[in-house]
Structure 1
C-alpha cells in the first residue's frame, strides 16, 4: 500500500528549515499539506474580557502568510489545503477519505500550552483509533529542548541569566538548518480544491497599514527572508542593534523579526546562521550577539511555559500564593484606549490599537503601568495583547506579562517602571507622543510628558484643555513629578545628558492572601 503523509502546518508556516516538511517528502509517496483556520484560535473569545482572539491586524498578517506558503508549495508542484474548521474535524474527514487507499502518517510540530496540547492529544487519539501513524517535531526555538543541559523541563531554571550562562558554559549550539527536498512528492488523486479565506469572510474590510506604523511589512516567508537579508546584509543594521533597539520610532531601529517568528514563517536558526555568517565574512565579531540574546529570551519563555504549564495563565502567575488584583474596568478601559492622561502610556496604547504593533520598550512600560501603578489584573492586559498583537506568541506574551507583573521570573518582583523617566529617556524630543497624541503636539518638550504640571498659560498657548481635549491623569505617582522637575532643571541649566537605561522605583509588595 502506498504511503500518504499529511503535513499539518501550525506555527511553522515556511519551507526553509522545516524538519517536518523534509520528513514528509522523504518518507511518503504522496503528501498533503494542510492548515486550519481554527475558530477556537481566531473568532472565539479570550478567557478574560471577551476580546476576539485574533483581531484584524494579526489575521491580515496570517492570511498573507498562508497565501505566500501556498504559492511556494505550488511552485514546488504541490499546494496547501486550507480549512475554516478544527483540526480534529478536518483529520476525521481526511482519514475517512484516504484510509482504504493509503498507509497514512500525520506530522506536526509540537506546542507547549494547554489549548494547543489538548488538540494534539485529540489528534493522537484519533490516529490510534484509525491505525494512523503520528510523527512529531520541535521547530519553534533556537535551541532544541533535547540539547539543553537539563534532565527534564522541571529542572529548567527560573532566572534567565542562569539559562544563558549554562548554555555558554557548556557550549550548547543550535542545530544545523534542515534542507528542504529538491523535489516534492505529488498530491494524492482526488485532492479537493480549497480556498484561503479573506478578511471579508471574518467581517473585516479596508484593513490598511497606518501611515505612522513602524511595521509596514507583509506576512509570509518570502517577505521574512527578504527583510532578514536586507537588515543584515544590505543595511548592515545588526551591528547597531544594541544602540537602536529601544527606539520607539522608525522601522529599522529594531529587527521587526517577531511577527514572522511568531507564526513560524521565519526560523530562529536561520536568523542565527545569517548573523554568524555576517560576523565571519565582515570580520564583525559579536555583531549579532544582542539579536541572538533576544532569541534566547524567546526560548526562555517557551521553556518556562513547558515547565509550568497552565500556571502561566493563573492570576498568581508562577507564584505559590494568590495575588490581590484590582478589577477596575473604568481604569482598564482608559488604559486600553489610550486615554489615561499619561502621554507616554497613551501614545503606546494608541499606536497599538491602530497598528497591531508596539515596541518592546513600550510593552514593558504599559504593562508596568497597568499592573504596578494601577494594580489591575495582569490577565486583562495579556488578553488585549493576545487579541491585537501582530506578533502574538502565547509563551512570550504571557511570559512577559507575568514577568513585568512581578509574579513570574523577575527576581526583582516589586520594581515599577518610572513612566516619566522612561518617557524622557526614550522620547526626549516628544516625537513619539506627538505622533500618537496630536492634541498635545504644541506643548513644549519640558511638559510633553507631564501636561498636568504645565502652567495654565502654557496649556492655553498649546490649545490643550485638560479634561476636555485631553484627559486628566487617572493616577500621578510622586516619583513622576520629581523626575519631571529634574528634567526641567537640567534643561534650564543646559547640561542635560540623556541617560539610556531603566530607572525603577520600588514599593512594598501588595498584600497577598
Structure 2
C-alpha cells in the first residue's frame, strides 16, 4: 500500500541534480524557504547513461564528456562546500537510489529540474512512482530553457515544426524571466549521511580509451574544464573581458582556435551554465557597447536551442525515428555498412576536409558547428549511411552533446526532421575552399 504524503511544507528536502549542475539561477535551491531545516543535494551516476547505445554499440557517454562531467560534479561539490553544504554522490538507478535516501534522510520532498526527452522523462516517471511508495513527492521545475514554457504565446500542441515559423510566431512576443538570486547559503546539510565519492574517469565509462580523455589534446579548440566556475569565467571573458561577442557573427564559422565562437555549449548542455544568465549578460553588453548583428545572433542561437527542446517535448520519441517527425523516409536511401562507417569515425574516408573534422572530434570531443554539418552531410549523402549511426557517434564523442539539438539537427540534414525537404547535401569541395582556403585546418588534423 503506497504511503500518503502531507501537503505541509517539507522540512527535509532532497534536490536531485541532473542537467542543472550549478548554483546560479537555480530555482530548486533559491526557493527552499525558511521552513526547510535540512537539504540534501544529490547527484546520481546512472550506469544506463554510460551503457552501449542501441545503434552502433558505442558508450552513450564517451570519454571526453565523461571527463567534463566528472570535473563538473567535483566543481559543484566544491562550490556547495564553500557555502556550508555538500553534494551527495550516489551510483545506480535514480528510481532505486532516491527512495532509499528518502528513508535514510526522512525527507518528504524531492526537487528536480524537468527534462524534455523520452529516456529522461521515463526515469522521472519511475522516480515519481517509487517516491510515492515511500511517502514523498517529486516536485519538478523548469530550468533548461531560455524561455519558460508557460510564457510561450502558443500552445505546445500548436508548435510549428519549422524554425522560421516558430521564430515568427514567438520572437517578438517572448520575454525572458530574470535569473534567480545568487545563493549565499543553504539549510543545513545532513552530515550523518556523508557525501559519497565522485568516481574516477574509468569507473563510470568502462571503455578502454577513457584514460585518453584525461589529457586535453593541445590542438583542441575547446581547452576548457567542466563546471560552473569555468563556465562563468568563460562567459565573462568572452562577453566582457575580450569582448569577442561583438564580432561573433563574423567569426562563428571559424574552424581553429578557442575564440571564434562562444564555446558555451558544453556548460549549457549539462546545466552548469544557465541560458538565462547568458541572455542577461548579452543584454548587459548591449547596454554598455550597443547591440549589433553579433549580439542578436548569439541570442538567435539560444532560440534555436529552445526550439529543438520544445520540438522534442512535443513529438517525444519521434526525434529518434529513422523516418523522422513526418514519417518521411530519408533520401538518399540509407544503408548499413559498418566498415564504411568505421572509416568515417576514424577520419579515413579519403576526403581530407571530412577526415580532419572526424579526427578532431575523436581526439578532443569537439569540432565546430560548420564541420558538424559537413561531416553529417557527407555520411548521409555521399556514404549514404543511416543518419542515426552518425547521431549516435556524436552522442558518444561530443563533449557538448545535447539530445534535442543533436538528434534534431541530424534529422534536419537527413530531410526527415524540422523544415523537412530534400537538397541539403553539402558540396564538400566548395565548403573546403570557402572555410579552409589555405588548407590549414586540413593539415592541422589530417595532414
Q: TM-score, normalised by structure 1?
A: 0.82
Aligned to 2:338: 329
Task: Summarize deviations over 1:238-281 as a string: whole Å, max 9, x none.
Answer: 11000000001111001100000000000111011001011101
- The whole-number CA distance in structure 2 between the counterparts of 1:399 and 1:60 is 25
SS of equivalent to 1:186: coil
Task: Summarize deviations over 1:196-242 as a string: whole Å, max 9, x none.
Answer: 11114345335211111000010000000000000011111111000
Query: Is 2:277 aligned against 1:273?
Result: no
The equivalences for 1:80-95 within 5 A come to 80-95=87-102
Aligned to 1:496: none
273-282 or 158-167, larger mean C-alpha shift:
158-167
Contact 1:279 1:286 in 2 (8 A): no
Q: CA deviation at 1:27?
A: 5.1
Query: Is 2:71 aligned against 1:64?
Result: yes
Aligned to 1:156: 159
- The whole-number CA distance in structure 2 between the counterparts of 1:283 and 1:371 is 42
Q: CA deviation at 1:86?
A: 1.4
Contact 2:246 2:292 in 1 (8 A): no
5+ residue gaps in structure 2? 1-7
Task: Summarize deviations over 1:168-194 as a string: whole Å, max 9, x none.
Answer: 332x11111011333310013522331
SS of equivalent to 1:24: coil
Aligned to 2:36: 28
The equivalences for 1:430-441 within 5 A come to 430-438=439-447
Query: Is 2:113 aligned against 1:109?
Result: yes
Taking structure 1 as reference, are residues 24 and 198 closer, same or farther at Cα in structure 2, changes over 3 Å only? farther
Aligned to 1:421: 430
Q: CA deviation at 1:90?
A: 1.0
Q: CA deviation at 1:133?
A: 2.2
- The whole-number CA distance in structure 1 between the counterparts of 2:271 and 2:328 is 35
The two structures, once aligned, show a CA RMSD in angstroms of 1.5
Aligned to 2:190: 188
The equivalences for 1:133-152 within 5 A come to 133-151=137-155
Aligned to 1:205: 211
Contact 1:313 1:379 in 2 (8 A): yes
Aligned to 1:503: none
Q: CA deviation at 1:25?
A: 5.2
Contact 1:25 1:184 in 2 (8 A): no
Taking structure 1 as reference, are residues 406 and 183 closer, same or farther at Cα in structure 2, changes over 3 Å only? same
Aligned to 1:509: none
- The whole-number CA distance in structure 2 between the counterparts of 1:413 and 1:308 is 21
Runs of 4+ in 1 over 6 A off after TM superposition: none
SS of equivalent to 2:176: coil
- The whole-number CA distance in structure 2 between the counterparts of 1:315 and 1:30 is 47
- The whole-number CA distance in structure 2 between the counterparts of 1:27 and 1:301 is 38
360-369 or 413-422, larger mean C-alpha shift:
413-422
The equivalences for 1:295-334 within 5 A come to 295-323=302-330, 324-334=333-343
Contact 2:249 2:294 in 1 (8 A): no
Aligned to 1:9: 17
- Work out the number of aligned pairs and report it: 432
Aligned to 2:4: none
Taking structure 1 as reference, are residues 27 and 241 closer, same or farther at Cα in structure 2, changes over 3 Å only? farther
Query: Is 2:47 aligned against 1:39?
Result: yes
324-333 or 114-123, larger mean C-alpha shift:
324-333
SS of equivalent to 2:147: coil
Aligned to 2:5: none
Tell which structure's C-alpha radius of gyration is larger: 1
Q: CA deviation at 1:411?
A: 4.4
SS of equivalent to 2:232: helix
Q: CA deviation at 1:114?
A: 1.3
Q: CA deviation at 1:311?
A: 0.8
Contact 2:63 2:211 in 1 (8 A): no
- The whole-number CA distance in structure 2 between the counterparts of 1:174 and 1:91 is 33
Query: Is 2:373 aligned against 1:364?
Result: yes
- The whole-number CA distance in structure 1 between the counterparts of 2:183 and 2:218 is 41
Query: Is 2:298 aligned against 1:291?
Result: yes
Contact 2:88 2:195 in 1 (8 A): yes
Taking structure 1 as reference, are residues 98 and 405 closer, same or farther at Cα in structure 2, changes over 3 Å only? same
Q: TM-score, normalised by structure 2?
A: 0.93
Q: CA deviation at 1:285?
A: 4.6
- The whole-number CA distance in structure 2 between the counterparts of 1:368 and 1:287 is 26
- The whole-number CA distance in structure 1 between the counterparts of 2:336 and 2:158 is 35
Contact 2:329 2:416 in 1 (8 A): no
